[in-house]
Structure 1
Amino acid sequence: MVSSVIAFVGLGHMGGPMAANLVKAGHRVIGHDLVPDALEAAVAAGVEAAPSAAAAAADADVVVTMLPAGRHVLALYQEQGLLAAARPGTLFVDCSTIDVADARAAHQATVAAGHRAVDAPVSGGVMGAEAATLTFMVGGDPTAFAQAEPLLTAMGKKAVHCGAAGAGQAAKICNNMILGVSMIAVSEAFVLGESLGLSHQALYDVASTASGQCWALSVNCPVPGPVPGSPANRDYLPGFAAPLMAKDLGLAANAAREGGVDAELGLRAAALYAAFAEGGGAAEDFSGIVRAIRERSGRRPAADTHDRKARKR
């Protein structure tokens, strides 16, 4: 891979490890984050610190952004001068998960400023970012995708060109609607199994090799025991945090409403995760919703040794 100068703006739980993997791949990475601890951690991983996002972009071949919401991306690009600071023809890669309309607006602003752009949201969570096993869903023209692909595969295992501007974001919210609905279904099944006297291991052994098999079960199993690497075995530390799932499902729900799509399960999943993220799940992995389902069911099995309340007694 040809070495590039990459500006990376947004060095949090996802962006920090992604930037570190670009350094490992031999690129010069100049980073900026508003949180001092995040910037310090990135510097320890080989990222050069910049005093501002615009300063990071001034000498870059590629600008990567990983920000919380579309309004942050648009404000950074235009009001805070990121597009103006970059050299003509710079490739902008936005890895944030944002509204499709915002992604298209960011793309239009970038092209109007004389640059190229792709939207490239990710799937795989913090563990995927750290291990460079993320999947990137990319929207933009084929030439821009071809330029971005080597950098994306340095941070992940796969990059899929989904179509024109905004198509990456469209694929992301559809994928996460599937994930959110399936995690709720798996969690409800385990709580039902508990009520019927079925052990977690027995249900897992059946469903993981039968028609109930899915990623939410086999990789991110919401109960401790069957999948040692799942967040359920780490007291539901994220992982993929519940508020992020609530955000993504909210984007999917808005798109469904605007498009007149009868997405009954997607809308219900968005409501359930919004309530969970605003309550006890604010700092938990999204698989922790199994505990909310258990509480609403009036159940708390003795096998759930990872219940914080039980340990505090």
Structure 2
Amino acid sequence: MPDPGGSLRVGFVGLGNIGKPMALRLAAADGIDLTVYDVAAGPVAELVEAGAVAAAGVAAIDADVVCVMVRDDDQVRAVAAEVRPGVVLVVHSTVAPETPGELAAAGHTVLDAPVSGGPMGAADGSLAIMVGGAGAAFDVARPALEAMGSLVVHAGPLGAGTRMKLARNLIHFVAFTAVTEAQRLAEAAGIDLVELGKVVRHTDAITGGPGAIMYRDTTAPIAPDDFWHGVFDHVAALGEKDLAFAIALAEQQRVDVPLARLSLDRLREGLGLG
């Protein structure tokens, strides 16, 4: 455990596109003594230049908290196997839902803490960090987490951070697939895709994009006298109108838009309107 009157000793393993800027945020933070390790010498040298200490290997890291941002579950397990006992192991990699529990069963004190925001958010410290695990371990790691992210959410018990990240990324990649469908329609209709992209990014920054409907604490049906019924009924009416127009345009252009058709079928029920 960290000395209440001293600095938090943090180790960071995995200095890739997101891990390196995360570690640089830690190196610049007050009250944190940082040790880093990566198989690549270049990013380690950059962190040493920023004030971190280089470790010869994971087993050589003497820390209160070890943050891990590596490629996949197997690499996470390999790192965990070398982490010293008593350390709070913070897994930032997006792993399978069962992996955090497996690490805990092997004797580690684990926080699963995947991030959202990409290299840009890592560089400017604006990541969202979704944390699962015991409150005591979260309290130990919190100063490091808050040095790397502007939104740190304790999502619940071990595994909750991973489950939240997977739900978040379901939105991300389903939306990407919808974008590819919309691009095919726009291209067939003679629309400049680059200009369309500018419009999408501009308006999503104003409205919040898909997250604009995420204010209720349940997916249960909405009672007719609930405030949200009127709001979402309006959303559904607009969506059904515009989806119908888009599908008609797609038929004219002979473009297949299965996600649009599925959305038209499921939008109202999905919003809780029955």
Indicate whether the TM-score tops 0.5. Answer: yes
1:46 pairs with one of 51, 55, 63: 51
Partner of 1:185: 178
Name the counterpart of 1:6. 10
5+ residue gaps, structure 1, are: 217-296, 298-313
Structure whose alpha-carbon radius of gyration is higher: 2
Aligned equivalents of 2:171, 2:70: Cα separation in 1: 23
Deviation digits for residues 63-108 of structure 1 (CA, Å, limit 9, x no counterpart): 1111111111222222xx32xxx2x532221111111111211122
Query: 12, 16, 19: which one pairs with 2:20?
Result: 16
How has the CA–CA distance of structure 1 residues 108 and 127 changed in structure 2, closer, same or farther, with 3 Å as cutoff? same
Structure 2 equivalent of residue 93 of structure 1: 90
**Does the Cα contact within 8 Å between 2:80 and 2:89 map onto a contact in 1?**
no
Corresponding residue for 1:282? none
Aligned twin of 2:75: 72
Q: Which residue of 2 aligns with 1:109?
A: 106
Tell whether the 8 Å contact from 1:92 to 1:110 is kept in structure 2 after alignment: no
Q: 1:25 to 1:2 in 2, by over 3 A?
A: farther
1-structure distance, mates of 2:23, 2:200: 40
Instruction: Name the aligned partner's letter for residue 8 of structure 1.
Output: F
Instruction: State the superposition RMSD in angstroms.
Output: 2.7
Q: Which residue of 1 aligns with 2:139?
A: 146
- Residue number among 51, 59, 64 corresponding to 1:61 in the alignment: 64
- TM-score scaled to structure 1, two decimals? 0.59
3-state SS, counterpart of residue 106 of structure 2 = helix
Contact 1:134 1:155 in 2 (8 A): yes
- Residues 207, 51 of structure 1: alpha-carbon distance in 2 compared, 3 angstrom cutoff: closer
Distance of aligned partners of 1:65 and 1:185 in 2 relative to their CA distance in 1, 3 Å threshold: same
Q: Which residue in 1 is equivalent to 2:126?
A: 133
TM-score relative to the length of structure 2: 0.67
Identity %: 37
1:213 Cα deviation after fit: 5.9
Following superposition, the deviation at residue 206 of structure 1 comes to 7.4
Cα offset, 1:37, TM superposition:
1.9
CA displacement at 1:214 relative to structure 2:
5.7
Q: Is the 8 A contact 1:133 1:157 kept in 2?
A: yes
User: What is the distance in 2 between the residues matched to 1:33 and 1:203?
Assistant: 37
Unpaired runs of 5+ residues, structure 2, are 211-254, 256-274
Answer whether contact 1:193 1:203 (CA < 8 A) is retained.
Answer: no
Report the secondary structure of 2:63's partner residue. Answer: coil
Cα distance between partner residues in 2 of 1:177 and 1:194: 26
SS at match of 2:145: helix
- 8 Å Cα contact 1:73/1:106 also seen in 2: no
Verify the 8 A CA contact 1:208 1:214 in the aligned structure 2.
no
Quote the offset at 1:207 in angstroms.
Answer: 8.5
Aligned letter for 1:166? Answer: G
Q: Distance in 2 between matches of 1:188 and 1:77?
A: 41
The equivalent residue for 1:266 is none
Identify the range of structure 1 (161-170 vs 188-197) with the bigger mean alpha-carbon deviation. 188-197
Paired residues, what number? 205
Deviations 1:243-267 (A, max 9, x none): xxxxxxxxxxxxxxxxxxxxxxxxx
Matched residues in 2 for 1:60 and 1:91: separation?
A: 9
| CA distance 1:188–1:213, change in 2 (3 Å) | farther
